[in-house]
Amino acid sequence: MNGSEDLIARTRSGDQEAFRLVFERYSRPVLGFIFEMVSQRDIAEELTQETFVRAYHNLKHLRDDSKFSTWLFGIGRNVAHEWLRSRRRENLTCTQDIDSIQQEHTGTIDSPMARLLGNELNLAMETALQALDEEKRVVFFLKVLQQRSYQEIAEITGFSLAKVKTELHRARLEMRRRLRLYLEMK
Amino acid sequence: MRCDDCQLIIEGYFDGELKESTALRVRRHLDGCPSCSRLLQNLTAEHAVYVASRSEILIRPDLWSGVRSRLTSEQQPEPLGALERPQTWLSSAFVLPRISGLTAVALVIVAVGMTMLLMRYLDRSLGDRRLTSVSESAPKAASAMPEGQAVPEPEPLVAGPRRSPEAKQNTGTKTTNESIVAGSKLKRPSRRFETIGKTKTPEQLVREAEQKYLTAIAMLSRTVERKRARLDLATLTKLEQALASIDRTIADTRKAVRQHPDDPVAVQFMLTAYAKKVDVLREMVDY
């Protein structure tokens, strides 16, 4: 049996192979989530590793194994926030304007997402996402691209349910406005 | 239900977040309202575009090995983390006194000294390994050589006193066996290791050198930070670009060192990247 809850129980009892399976299952969405926050692939990978290391060490504090995924994303969010804060202290924030993102996606600069996303719509989507402020981007990503419930998003982000709904609504409006041309074509 | 009410909660309906009774009322309204139905269709179409336009992010195979090695290493005290926890940085910011650029330079010199010492050892260690492998393969090579022909002497891998041409001439006719003996004489990594650091492992030395660089970088960064307001925009942009590029290199090389802690080339690259960052920051301090 390799259900998440079973894997978590096995990990808790020291089975590292079980944790590897947990990693296989969740590393992709966690990496995607952290990438949305930090916008740099190599940093997102390091932070994803940090997230799983912390999760492993703190598994004993997880009360409800069925909420592992939400708990893990919460750790990922904290890890990414800590990194963002440390960057801000160095006055080297990773917030990018649209021009710089577009420049990245032209392929002249090291652009991890450009390697992953191929066509114009991908680029437009990523540009529009990056143009959202962090709270909207995270909520939008978790709801639309990760299919999380409002309640789960609230638990991951620490926002109230009302704030989740508001941010999601505003994010959708902004995305619609930015991608209007593409959406109309479809 | 009126259109206004429906439009307020139609996203919740689309997201499946409404209570069953409310969802039923919305559904009934939609059945009889083309305008609100179109809204729902638009939401559905948008969602399809968003989902379709996102490629699955790829996971590099070595990502797990990084986690595993960290789990293993962090069981020991004071791990060499890929990522210094921000709390550590924060606490060090308060603990470290604000000291002059001269002290930072002194620290850099210490770090560079340690690096050179370490590199010298690692080079020797690598050289010994190569010599060992050469000496192991020598008999095979010698057997392939015509009888009486000398085996070419390997180029010295470690800087040391060079032999005179006469001495070389004398050794030019040395037999294969003598070469093997010479190789075995050089093969003393453990003793050299002991003389460099009686109680320190290469990993500890690397860690210490890295720590010195990080301390110097932290101090120089603070000085640069204070100067930042006086810098013109073009210089500031160049500085940030250079630092961002070096930071990427540092991250990459640290990753490589974590994956191959015994690879002296990886260690050398990593420490060079740190040294580069120190250089850039020092230039900015002197600017």
Per-residue model confidence as pLDDT tens digits over B59-72 = 777 788 888 888 87
Residue of chain A with shortest Cα separation from B51: A145
Confidence (pLDDT) at B126? 60
Phi, psi (5° rounding) for residue B177? -60, -40
| A49:B70 CB<8 A | yes
pLDDT confidence tier of residue B272, bands split at 50, 70 and 90: confident
Helix axes A16-38, A4-12, angle to 10 degrees: 110
At B167-181, the pLDDT tens digits run 444 444 443 343 333
Question: B127 pLDDT exceeds 50?
Answer: yes
Residue A182, exposed/middle/buried by CB under 10 A (0-12, 13-18, 19+)?
Answer: middle
Contact A183 B51 (CB under 8 A): no
pLDDT band at A48 (very low <50, low <70, confident <90, very high): very high
B52 vs A111, which has greater pLDDT? B52
Q: Distance between CA A150 and CA A163 in Å, rounded? A: 10
Question: Which of A90, A108, A167, A183 best probes binding to B when mutated, by most B CB atoms within 10 angstroms?
Answer: A90
Sign of CA dihedral B16, B18, B22, B26: negative
Share of chain B above pLDDT 70, in %: 59
Helical segments of chain B, H only: 3-14, 20-31, 34-53, 62-73, 86-95, 101-144, 165-171, 176-186, 189-196, 202-227, 233-259, 264-286
B233 inside 8 A of chain A by CB: no
Which chain A residues touch B93 with a CB distance below 8 Å? 89
Interface of A with B in 86-145 (CB under 8 A): 86, 89-92, 110, 116-118, 121-122, 124-125, 143-145
Whether B85 and A82 lie within 8 Å, measured CB to CB: yes
For range B89-109, the mean pLDDT: 55
Over the stretch A114-172, which tens digit does the pLDDT of each residue have? 444 446 777 778 888 888 888 999 999 999 888 899 999 999 998 999 999 999 999 99
The band of B243, judged by pLDDT with boundaries at 50, 70 and 90, is confident
Q: Please, which residues 60-79 of chain A have a Cβ atom closer than 8 Å to chain B?
A: none
CB A175 within 8 A of CB B50: yes
pLDDT score recorded for residue B161? 40
Whether the pLDDT of residue B28 is over 60: the answer is yes
Average pLDDT over residues B207-220: 80
Using the Cβ of A81 and the Cβ atoms of chain B, whether some distance falls under 8 Å is answered with no
Phi-psi region of A86 (alpha: psi -120 to 50; beta: other; left: phi over 0): alpha
State the pLDDT confidence band at A186, using cuts at 50, 70 and 90: low
DSSP SS3 for B261: coil
Cβ–Cβ contact B243 with A under 8 A? yes
Q: What is the dihedral of CA A137, A138, A143, A144, to 10 degrees?
A: 40
**pLDDT-based confidence at B125, cuts 50/70/90?**
low
Nearest to B86 among A82, A118, A144 (CB): A82
- Between A100 and B263, the more confident residue is B263
Worst-scoring range by mean pLDDT, A62-76, A102-116, B119-133, B191-205?
A102-116
Tell me the two tokens of residue B243. 């630092």
Three-state SS at B145: coil
Q: Which two tokens stand for residue B70?
A: 């960290």
Highest mean pLDDT among A42-46, A126-130, B277-281: A42-46
Chain-centroid distance of CA A55 in Å reads 16
Return the residue of A nearest to B43 by Cα. A172
Tell me what percent of the residues of chain B surpass a pLDDT of 90: 4
| Type and span of the H or E element at B16 | none
pLDDT value for B276: 84
pTM of the model: 0.49
Show the tokens assigned to B97.
């006194």
- What pLDDT digit, counting tens, does each position of A74-112 carry? 999 999 988 888 876 665 444 444 444 444 443 333 344
Q: Which of A17-21, A48-52, B223-227 has the least mean pLDDT?
A: B223-227
Predicted local distance difference test score (pLDDT) of residue A119: 60
A-chain residues near B51 (CB < 8 A): 144-145
